[in-house]
């Protein structure tokens, strides 16, 4: 089916802009699958990470139970670099993060951090030994616990509670909105502050790699920029590597050094965030024009 035909089945647009194309979810999936036929090649993936990756995924096949979701995924990101995964719903973006953190069943392939094979480590060891932190997509703050108690939970794997406490102090020094409310129940925080608390909790273990699933989801626009600024500071100021999934593809690609378009569990395109933003097909399929 050509695009013209599929479009004629749609109702006229309202509020999308004069003469804009309308693309159905099925169209996006179909056309994205076409893009996925080629794939970027591992050389390009390595080049984007500057040839010195902190995280290196090679030919990863992973899924849940008997269902394979990722089919030979390659991914590389260097220290102080950010990578954003975009793509249709259900493409497997969150599954990439789950696999890095150890929540999926891995069939073939490998995941290395700093050259060390961590493919089979448990999530606890990923955090404690490999320095990987996973920031949950869902609202995971405990509303009736104090801000400080919530934060200290990020150190539950530490050998001594006082270590978690010290780490929490360093975070309070840095993020005043949390410090001011440290003894109050977390429910008093604004949406943006809650997201900050979720990120901060992951920082207690001083990770090298942050996995961030949909940082902007559910946030009012005025908080979205704040969260991206905080992530930028962690990347550029602290040299942390970030792998994120972002439904707001434009925001994600503007933020990230590297962008991958994930389609049906494979990397269809990989380029700098800037180049993907300029790419006509990416624009049409994922950036709403
Ligand atoms: N915990 C899970 N158990 C079983 N299937 C899952 C689980 N999480 C996701 N899936 C399935 O994996 C596929 C990819 O999902 P996901 O990675 O969440 O996609 P995306 O983040 O790109 O929207 C979907 O078909 C989804 O139903
Ligand atoms: Mg997801």
Pocket test for ligand 1, best of 63, 64, 261 (most atoms within 8 A of CB): 64
Distance between CA atoms of 11 and 13, rounded to whole angstroms?
6
- For ligand 1, atom 7, which residue shows the shortest CA distance? 64
CA separation for the pair 199, 73 (Å, rounded):
26
Which pLDDT does position 140 carry in this prediction? Answer: 83
Residues in the chain: 289
Residue 98 beta carbon below 6 angstroms from any ligand 1 atom: no
Mean pLDDT value across the chain: 89
* Residue of higher predicted confidence among 255 and 160: 255
pLDDT per position as a tens digit, 15-68: 344 445 677 888 877 777 776 667 898 999 999 999 999 999 999 999 999 999
Cα–Cα distance between 96 and 61 in angstroms, integer? 10
Q: Which of 213, 189, 97, 205 is nearest to 153 (CA)?
A: 205
Best of 75, 87, 89, 92 for a ligand 1 pocket test (most atoms within 8 Å of beta carbon): 92
**Other beta carbons within 10 Å of 62:** 26
Q: What is the pLDDT of residue 137?
A: 64
Task: Tell which residue, 60, 103, 100, 102, has the closest CA to residue 83.
Answer: 100
- Is 92 a pocket residue for ligand 1 (Cβ < 6 Å)? yes
For the Cβ of 142 lying below 6 angstroms from any atom of ligand 1, the answer is: no
Whole-number Å distance, alpha carbon 178 to ligand 1 midpoint, is 33
Q: Write down the pLDDT at residue 9.
A: 41
Give me ligand 2 centre to Cα 217, in Å. 11
- In this prediction, residue 37 carries a pLDDT of 67
Give 117's Cβ-side CA count (13 Å radius): 6
Which atom of ligand 1 is nearest the CA belonging to 245? 21
- For residue 90 and ligand 1, the question of a CB distance below 6 A is answered with yes
The CATH number of domain 24-144+185-286, selected from 3.30.1200.10, 3.40.50.300, 3.10.20.740, 3.20.10.10: 3.40.50.300
User: Structure pTM?
Assistant: 0.88
Which residue has the least CA distance to atom 27 on ligand 1?
90
Give the nearest ligand 1 atom to 262 CA.
22
Split at pLDDT 50, 70, 90, the class of 231 is very high
pLDDT band at 260 (very low <50, low <70, confident <90, very high): very high
Residue-wise pLDDT tens digits, 182-226: 999 999 999 999 999 999 999 999 999 999 999 999 898 889 999
Highest mean pLDDT among 15-19, 109-113, 136-140, 283-287: 109-113
Taking the CA of 73 as reference, the closest ligand is 1
H helix intervals, 154-272: 161-174, 176-179, 191-203, 221-236, 249-255
Q: Ligand 2 centre from 185 Cα, in Å?
A: 29
The domain ranges of the chain are: 24-144+185-286
Asked whether the beta carbons of 85 and 96 are under 8 A apart, the reply is yes
């Amino acid at each position: 089916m050509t695009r013209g035909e599929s479009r004629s089945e749609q109702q006229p647009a309202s509020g999308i802009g004069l003469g804009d194309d309308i693309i159905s979810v099925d169209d996006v999936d179909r056309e994205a699958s076409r893009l996925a036929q080629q794939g970027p090649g591992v050389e390009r993936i390595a080049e984007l990470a500057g040839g010195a990756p902190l995280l290196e995924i090679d030919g990863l096949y992973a899924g849940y139970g008997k269902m394979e979701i990722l089919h030979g995924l390659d991914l590389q990101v260097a220290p102080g670099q950010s990578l954003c995964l975009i793509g249709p719903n259900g493409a497997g973006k969150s599954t990439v993060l789950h696999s890095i953190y150890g929540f999926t069943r891995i069939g073939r392939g490998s995941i290395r951090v700093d050259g060390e094979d961590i493919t089979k480590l448990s999530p606890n060891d990923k955090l404690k030994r490999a320095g990987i932190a996973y920031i949950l997509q869902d609202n995971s703050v405990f509303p009736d616990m104090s801000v400080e108690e919530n934060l200290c939970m990020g150190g539950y794997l530490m050998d001594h509670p006082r270590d978690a406490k010290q780490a929490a102090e360093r975070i309070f020094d840095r993020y005043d909105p949390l410090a001011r409310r440290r003894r109050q129940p977390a429910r008093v925080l604004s949406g943006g502050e809650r997201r900050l608390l979720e990120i901060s909790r992951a920082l207690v273990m001083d990770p090298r790699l942050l996995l961030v699933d949909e940082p902007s989801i559910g946030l009012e626009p005025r908080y979205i920029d704040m969260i991206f600024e905080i992530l930028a500071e962690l990347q550029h100021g602290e040299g942390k590597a970030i792998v994120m999934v972002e439904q707001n593809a434009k925001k994600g690609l503007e933020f990230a050094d590297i962008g991958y378009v994930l389609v049906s569990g494979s990397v269809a395109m990989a380029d700098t965030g800037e180049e993907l933003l300029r790419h006509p097909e990416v624009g049409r399929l994922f950036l709403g024009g």
